[in-house]
A and B are shown apart, each in its own frame.
Chain A
Amino acid sequence: MIDLAFLIPLFPLAGFLLLFFFGRRLGEPVAGWVATFFCGFSFVTTALVFIGLAGEPSSERFHVQKLFTWISVGSFEVDFGLLVDPLSITMCLFITGVGSLIHMYSIGYMHGDPNFSKFFVYLNLFVASMIFLVLSDNLLLTFLGWEGVGACSYLLISFWFDDAANATAGKKAFVTNRIGDVGFMLGTFLLFTSLSSINYEDILTRSDELTPQVASIVAVLFLLGAAGKSAQLPLYVWLPDAMAGPTPVSALIHAATMVTSGVFLLTRLNPVLAQAETWTGGVIAWIGALTALFAATVAVAQTDIKKVLAYSTVSQLGYMFLAIGVGAYVPAIFHMITHAFFKALLFLGSGSVIHGLNGEQDMRRMGGLQKYMPVTAFTFIVGWLAIAGVPPFSGFWSKDEILLYTWDADIAGGKALWVVGIVTALLTAFYMTRQVILTFFGETRYFQPTNEEIQQAWANRVDSVRSDAAGHQEAFAKLEAATEKALADVAKREAAVAKSSEDLISAELAVASASESDDGYEKLTKALDKATKAGPKAETALSKAQEKVEAARDAQRESEEELISVQAQILEVENLANRVEVSNAPVTAGSAGPDISEIEDYLPESYTDRQDSEPHESPATMTVPLIVLAALAAVAGLLNLPFAKSTHFLEHWLEPSLFGNEHHLSSSGATKWGLAIFAIACAATAIFAAFSVYRNNRVDPSKIELDGMANAWWVDQSYADFFGGPGRALFNLFAWFDRTIVDGAVMGFSKGFSWFGRSMKLLQPGLVRSYALGIAVGSILIMSWFIGRIY
């Protein structure tokens, strides 16, 4: 059955080719199922090979299967060859197993994506590369897988390429990994020049031919490679950004499989590490421990659900490096497996949450989701218990082993490493509890208005007050016009009164000057009468008009007052709106959300729509993998129980791959129990602390989530500043140097020639006479030289 090994990489490769050429035609969801089945076939094959391998005596569990010669030049020869041994098959089992589940999950998660089939093209290629990485029988084919998974990671991170941030994250991942890859390549070269072979068979059996010095350099070079791929300090910066990819990618590549390649590589090369000087183990352990602690502190203050898990992954990988450093290869692989289960589970769970919340990734916008997504919540809680180190869930067993070996390690500063390890464990339990509370318990903040919506609502309210004021302004203007009109009326009336008194006077004069005897006297007296009567009439009209003016003025004043008050209101509302802060404060489960009584009626549609659409549980293609992974995360501890020699299944299984380089525990049983109980107590304390902060509001979370943590201690930022600043300037200097100095010298040289040419032109004026003269002089000179030689 072991001969079937070649099918393990072949299936996903076939799936890749099939989908590459026909994926678009197969479409959704067939393309996804095809990919899933090819990955599944690979898992079944691996299981068969595993059974075959387990059936052999442990000393014979080492098979090389050559497919064909890849590169053979002089003394250098490498094959496309597979090495089937317990380590490689263990890796293949969980890569293809977890891989198949994630393939299936993706069918649901990528539903409706325009590039649905392309996603599965990349995913199958990734699995094939990953299998070559672990199943290779030489360093070069491992490197093919190593860079292959890096390329797939690049393609998948930038899968949604129209967002510049995703594209940048993909590029960053590839380039950062390449820094590590230089270490890998140089390590390969050094091994080749020292051992004349880079086949594992030779390296593993002949590593004692290396001098400790060379072995140390080799170890450090491969450590550099491993630190790149497994996101350790100082090369971890790409992994948090890699969360830009679709969530199944984060689960498969950036949690369960690819990022563990570094741990695998160092485990694979354990005889070389054993041959190296002792300080190399210390370097590996310290890099691991510091990475674990560093990333755990950062995870505490992240608000993006996937960023928490990303930093958590960096931190857990640090544990594995710590284990390698202290010679605890089995615990490293053990933790790698349990981590693959629970971290894949957590990522897929977070993907299910994101899917159910229409793309929301901010935990401040979650909470109370267990009501809406019970399966996701339940499985996520299993994952949480596993990673937090709660027995009997799997994470407890593997992490405890690492801490035990660290305590027991005979390298300098071993106990300090243990302290770092236990503090990290505390932090892990704390931030994961925080995540579970913020996501699944308490208020459903999803319904609360977002910062943007609140800002929008205030803007709406300001607008509405403003339009209100505009109405008032209009009314006021009308009233003003009315007053004007009334005033004009008064003026008219006043003129009428004046005219009537004039009329009266002229009538009186006329009467006085005339005599009664006159014919017209009677007429005049009549006119006088009329004029006398008209006077009071006009005056009455005037006073009426004046009254009207008063009334108009009153109305105007009233309106003006109203207008002023409305304007004051605008200022007030604007002030309020300006004072609304974008609240980025940490939240807890009970956070009631912002006070919206002032703006309730002004909230935008997105808010009101959301009130009607509840978060929903994901489809079965997504929940089934969750349930399977939850079961695995719960019980995977069974692989290597510490109670008796006979329950160390994984240790016995991996023995042939470790060549006796596994550290031998010297601690007593009491110490083991003491450490385990202490670790459980720490986890319990951290969980309790997280509950009291985030569930019961006993402590203000902003006192815990420091700025430095939220900004990842500014490491990434300083890299960016450096490469964007001096780095870029240096490259620009090169470009300038090339244009100005190097090319300038060439052009200067040619200008010199053209000057020379122009000068020489003077010697060739085109006059036959002067040429003839030249020929004559030349001939004479040559002839005299010959004559001189003869005599």
Chain B
Amino acid sequence: MYSFLAAEAEKVDSFSLLPAMIAVPALTAVVIALLPKSRADYLKLAALVGSTIAGAMSFYMLIKFQVNGDFQFVTKQDWVPDLGLSLFFAVDGISLFLVVLTGLLFPIAILTTEPHHDPKPYYVWLMLLMAGSLGAFMALDLLLFFLFFEVVLVPMYFLIGGWGHGNRVYAAMKFFLYTMAASALMLVGIIGLAFASADATRADGTRLGITFDVVELAENHTLGTTASTIIFLTFALAFAVKVPLFPFHTWLPDAHTEAPTAGSVILAGVMLKLGTYGMLRFGLYLFPTVVRDLAPIFLTLGVVGILYGAAVATMQKDLKRLVAYSSVAHMGFIVLGIFALNSQGLEGAVLQMVNHGISTGALFILVGWIYERRHTREIAALGGLQKSAPKMAAVFTIVMLSSLGLPGLNGFVGEFLILLGAFSSAQWWAVLAAFGVILAALYLLWAYQRSFHGPASGDNATMADLKLSELLGIAPLIILIVFLGIYPQPVLDRISPAVDRLIEHVDSRVDDYEEQEPVPTDRTGADGLVAVAEKIHAEAKDGHSEDEDHSDEESQGDGGTESAEAESTERSAAEISEEDSE
């Protein structure tokens, strides 16, 4: 099988895998839109086939992925060259598994759930959502990313508003406006960054020009502290709401609870990861020094999210809402890992993004099944379900144990690495966060007890157990839960090089920054954003003034620091932050 795939891959080397992967669900959406409404059975089939093809492509990509830290499957084409826009898609170890996760969760979500009405637009929206999500994880052009980042809101808005429960319109509106408003400033930040960096030079002395290429920007931008901080904060707000980070999380319980099951699965499994992924790729990568300086704030918010999310989850009366709040706690762990700024924390965070997608996705599917059967999510109305539905109880137990971080199942590995990383660089935050694992056990076991244990009466006593098709539908997630708990190394091996590279980048940037500190040469500093306007002016007047660029470079002092950069790569961010705190 593998050799066959490898041979095929040779032939299609020039084939642009990533854009094709986005195109498949997008085209499927078109096909579904063209199918006659009366053939409802074909609609689901088409969606299933489309998403499965995209999923298979993501697995193919996983197999073909080389174990190194480079961006792979690169597709780069000018789009609107005058504006510096490009179609730049690639994956590295950080985004690899998020793409695969997306490719996995969509077919499962489609397979295991049914829309209650209007299947046609439902599947169209789902397919567009898949295309958008894949795009967001693959885009390495800031504006392109932003486009996908925003585009996914629309299908999700319609999915919640159209196929949700109870208070769905309110929830959809709140979700849309909250995340939209928070990311509006990011657009300003993106444009500001591109323009403010236009005059920076590459290592070979060429001028950067206006570009939204993340790699170029991260390697070469020379923004001062203040400008970086301002732009980072515009990014951070958008991502914090998306994650969601305390106190920006209140859209989540509403959206999750009212969304249809597939919506909740995708929202928790895929869309929340856009926030943490964004923090890594567009926060840490672009603004290492700022992230390091502001890390205590985010560590604190992460820890608050862990403890607070768990405490609030404990008291929820609605099973789905409880799972929603558990996401707040889990995402807090991921944020903690990112801002631990060392390899254990970062790798743990990336792994935990995948784990959370699997476990919480499975939890939402299970809660959805209970709702389908019992027409309620009220915990108090359930009880004794283990008697009537032992198979569901078994599956629920495994997923629950994974979610509360039982060693041997997937959730533990990520959580442990995150806490270990955080303990190395931010000891006391880790100590507090560790108490989150007690609360996780409390709210999950309590919810399980009230729903599945105890005597069964009324409808609970006659609830149908899982059908074979349902068992098969959720089986991939269960298998992954066990596999990633026992043998996560293949995944970690693929994440490692990218994370190492990122840490190297962070370290060199931080070293530069520290060497600059004694002589602050903050040209684009305080008035960085204001300078944008001047630059546009200058651009218009003379876009190729080499002299000016050269003098810029000198004033930055970049030239002399290159050798120091190389030396310093061995130092970890952890050490540095330790030194700092002394």
Query: Which of A's residues lie within 8 Å of B, judged by CB?
Result: 68-76, 80, 140, 143-144, 146-148, 151, 154-155, 158, 161-164, 166-168, 170-171, 174-175, 178-179, 181-182, 185-186, 188-190, 192-193, 730-732, 734-735, 738, 742-743, 745-746, 750
Smallest CB separation, A114 vs chain B (Å): 10
In the assembled complex, which residues on chain A have CB atoms less than 8 Å from the CB atom of B492? 71-73
Measured CB to CB, the residues of B under 8 A from A are 174, 177-178, 246-247, 249-251, 308, 311-312, 314-316, 342-344, 347-348, 384, 386-387, 397, 401, 406-408, 412-413, 416-417, 419-420, 423-424, 430-431, 434-435, 437-438, 441-442, 445-446, 449, 452-456, 486-489, 492, 496, 500
State whether B312 touches A735 (Cβ < 8 A): yes
Query: A69 contacts B434, CB within 8 Å?
Result: no
Chain A nearest Cβ from B263, distance in angstroms: 20
Q: Are A175 and B442 neighbours in the complex by a CB distance under 8 Å?
A: yes
Verify B311–A734 contact, CB threshold 8 A.
Answer: yes
Number of A-B contacts (CB under 8 A): 144
CB distance from A173 to the nearest CB of B (A): 10
- Please measure, in the bound complex, the distance between the C-alpha atom of A168 and the C-alpha atom of B314, giving whole angstroms: 15
Bound CA span A167–B312, Å: 22
* Shortest beta-carbon contacts, A-B, top 7: A74-B343, A167-B453, A144-B407, A189-B423, A743-B250, A735-B315, A161-B453
Minimum CB distance partner of A24 in chain B: B390
A229 to chain B, nearest CB (A): 14
Which of B251, B344, B453, B496 is close to A164, meaning CB atoms less than 8 Å apart? B453
Q: Quick check: A185 and B416 within 8 Å, CB to CB?
A: yes
User: Is A148 in contact with B407, judged by CB distance below 8 angstroms?
Assistant: yes
A73–B348 touching, CB < 8 Å: yes
- Residue contacts A-B, CB under 8 angstroms, 8 given: A74-B500, A161-B452, A163-B454, A164-B453, A175-B441, A182-B435, A185-B437, A735-B311
Find A168's partner among B315, B449, B488 (CB 8 Å cutoff): B449
Contacts A68-B489, A70-B489 known; list 9 others, CB within 8 Å: A70-B488, A75-B343, A144-B408, A171-B445, A175-B438, A178-B441, A190-B423, A743-B250, A750-B177
Q: Chain B contacts of A166 at CB under 8 A?
A: 453
Q: Is the CB of B454 within 8 A of A734?
A: no
Cβ A185 vs Cβ B419 within 8 A: yes
Cross-chain contact B424 with A147 (CB below 8 angstroms): no
Q: Are B315 and A182 in contact (CB under 8 A)?
A: no
Q: Across the interface, do B406 and A147 meet the contact criterion of CB distance under 8 Å?
A: yes
Q: Is the CB of A178 within 8 A of B437?
A: yes
- Quick one: which of A140, A174, A730 contacts B407, CB cutoff 8 A? A140
- B434 touching A186, Cβ below 8 Å: yes
Across the interface, which residues of A come within 8 angstroms of B496, CB to CB?
73-74
For A743, what are the chain B residues with a Cβ–Cβ distance below 8 Å?
Answer: 250
CA separation between A171 and B453, bound complex, in Å?
11
Tell whether, in the assembled complex, residue A171 and residue B446 are in contact, meaning their CB atoms are under 8 Å apart: yes
A151 — which chain B residues lie within 8 A by C-beta? 401, 406
Residues of A within 8 A of B430 (CB): 186, 189
Contact between A171 and B247 (Cβ–Cβ < 8 Å)?
Answer: no
Residue of B nearest to A70 (CB): B489
Choice from A71, A75, A163, A175 contacting B413 with Cβ under 8 Å: A71
Q: How far is A73 from B240 in the complex, measured between Cα atoms in Å?
A: 27
Query: Complex formed: what's the CA distance from A742 to B308 in Å?
Result: 12
Decide: B488 and A71 in contact? CB cutoff 8 A: yes
B454 touches A164 (CB 8 A): yes
**Selected contact of A174 from candidates B251, B413, B417, B445, CB within 8 Å:** B445
Q: Are B438 and A182 in contact (CB under 8 A)?
A: yes
Q: B314 and A186: CB pair below 8 A? A: no
- Contacts known (A147-B406, A186-B434); A735 close to B316, Cβ less than 8 A: yes
Query: Chain B residues with Cβ under 8 A from A746's Cβ?
Result: 178, 250-251
**Cβ contact within 8 Å between B453 and A158:** yes
- Tell which of B177, B342, B434 touches A182, judged by Cβ atoms closer than 8 Å: B434
CA distance A214 to B301 in the complex (A): 29
Interface of B is mostly: helix
Q: Which partner residue on chain B sits nearest A177 by CB separation?
A: B441
Closest Cβ neighbor of B450 among chain A residues: A167
User: Which B residues are in CB contact (< 8 Å) with A146?
Assistant: 407
In angstroms, Cα B39 to Cα A556, docked, is: 90
Chain B: CB-nearest residue to A172: B445
> Within the complex, what minimum Cβ distance (angstroms) separates A736 from chain B?
9
Q: Shortest distance in angstroms between A255's beta carbon and chain B's nearest beta carbon?
A: 23
B435 to chain A, nearest CB (A): 6
Q: How far is the CA of A750 from the CA of B173 in the complex (A)?
A: 11
Question: Does the CB pair A189–B315 fall under 8 Å?
Answer: no
Closest chain-A Cβ to B18's Cβ sits at a distance in Å of 27
Q: Which residues of B contact A140 (CB under 8 A)?
A: 407, 416
Q: Which residues of B contact A80 (CB under 8 A)?
A: 486
Given A179-B438, A186-B434, A193-B424, A161–B312 Cβ distance below 8 Å?
no
CA distance A73 to B93 in the complex (A): 14
Residues of B within 8 A of A175 (CB): 438, 441-442, 445
CB distance from B144 to the nearest CB of A (A): 29
Complex Cα–Cα for A68 and B487 (A): 9
Contact present for A731 and B311 (CB under 8 Å): yes
When C-beta atoms are compared, the residue in chain B nearest to A115 turns out to be B390
- What's the minimum C-beta distance from A563 to chain B, rounded to whole angstroms? 47
**Distance of B62 from chain A, by nearest CB (Å):** 19
The CA of A51 and the CA of B383, in the complex, are separated in Å by 52
For the complex, what is the distance from the CA of A147 to the CA of B316, rounded to whole Å?
Answer: 26
Q: Once the chains bind, are B445 and A154 in contact (CB under 8 Å)?
A: yes
Contact B420 A76 (CB under 8 A): yes
**Chain A residues positioned under 8 Å from B431 (CB to CB):** 186
Asked whether A189 and B420 contact (CB < 8 A) given A73-B496, A74-B342, the answer is yes
A174 and B441 form a contact (CB under 8 A)? yes
Q: Is the CB of B314 within 8 A of A731?
A: yes
- A167 with B420: in contact, given A71-B489, A175-B445 (CB under 8 Å)? no
Q: Is the CB of B308 within 8 A of A734?
A: yes
Closest CB-CB distance, A683 to chain B, in whole Å? 41
Q: How far is the CB of A579 from chain B (nearest CB, A)?
A: 35
**Considering only CB atoms, which chain A residue lies closest to B250 in the complex?**
A743
Instruction: Give the nearest-CB partner of A144 in chain B.
Output: B407
Contacts of B437 on A, CB cut-off 8 Å?
Answer: 178, 181-182, 185
Given A161-B386, A175-B445, A182-B434: A738 and B408 interface contact (C-beta under 8 Å): no
Report B-chain residues with C-beta under 8 Å of the C-beta of A732: 315
> Which B residues are CB-close (under 8 A) to A179?
438
- Give the distance in Å from the alpha carbon of A70 to the alpha carbon of B431 in the complex: 24
* Nearest chain A CB to B238 CB, angstrom units: 16
CB-contact partner of A76 in B315, B344, B412, under 8 A: B344
The residue of chain B having its C-beta at the shortest distance from the C-beta of A741 within the complex is: B247
CB <8 Å contact, B449 and A171? yes
**What is the bound-complex CA distance between A146 and B412, given in angstroms?**
13
Q: Are A147 and B423 in contact (CB under 8 A)?
A: no
Contacts of A158 in B (CB 8 A): 449, 453
Using A71-B413, A147-B406, A186-B431 as known contacts, say yes or no to A731 and B315 having CB atoms under 8 A apart: yes
Residue from A73, A155, A167, A182 within 8 A of B417 (CB atoms): A73
Chain B residue contacts of A167, Cβ below 8 A: 449, 453-454
Given A162-B387, A162-B454, is A742 in contact with B177 using a C-beta cutoff of 8 Å? Answer: no
Query: Shortest distance in angstroms between A170's beta carbon and chain B's nearest beta carbon?
Result: 8
Across the interface, which residues of B come within 8 angstroms of A192, CB to CB?
Answer: 420, 423-424
User: Once the chains bind, are B408 and A148 in contact (CB under 8 Å)?
Assistant: yes
Q: Which B residues touch A163, using CB under 8 A?
A: 454-455
A155 to B496, CA, bound (A): 36
Residues of A within 8 A of B445 (CB): 154, 170-171, 174-175
Q: Are B250 and A738 in contact (CB under 8 A)?
A: yes
Do A185 and B453 touch (CB < 8 A)? no
Q: When chains A and B are docked, how far (Å) is the Cα of A735 from the Cα of B312?
A: 5
Give complex CA distance A723, B250 in Å: 27
B455's partner among A162, A178, A193 (CB-CB below 8 A) is A162
Which among B247, B412, B453 has the highest number of chain A CB atoms within 10 Å?
B453
> Is the pair B417, A71 in contact by a Cβ cutoff of 8 Å?
yes
- Asked whether A742 lies within 8 Å of B250 as measured between CB atoms, the reply is yes
B247: which A residues are within 8 A, CB to CB?
Answer: 742, 745
In the bound complex, CA of A171 to CA of B416 (Å): 22
Instruction: Looking at the assembled complex, report how far the CB atom of A181 sits from the nearest CB atom of chain B, in whole angstroms.
Output: 7
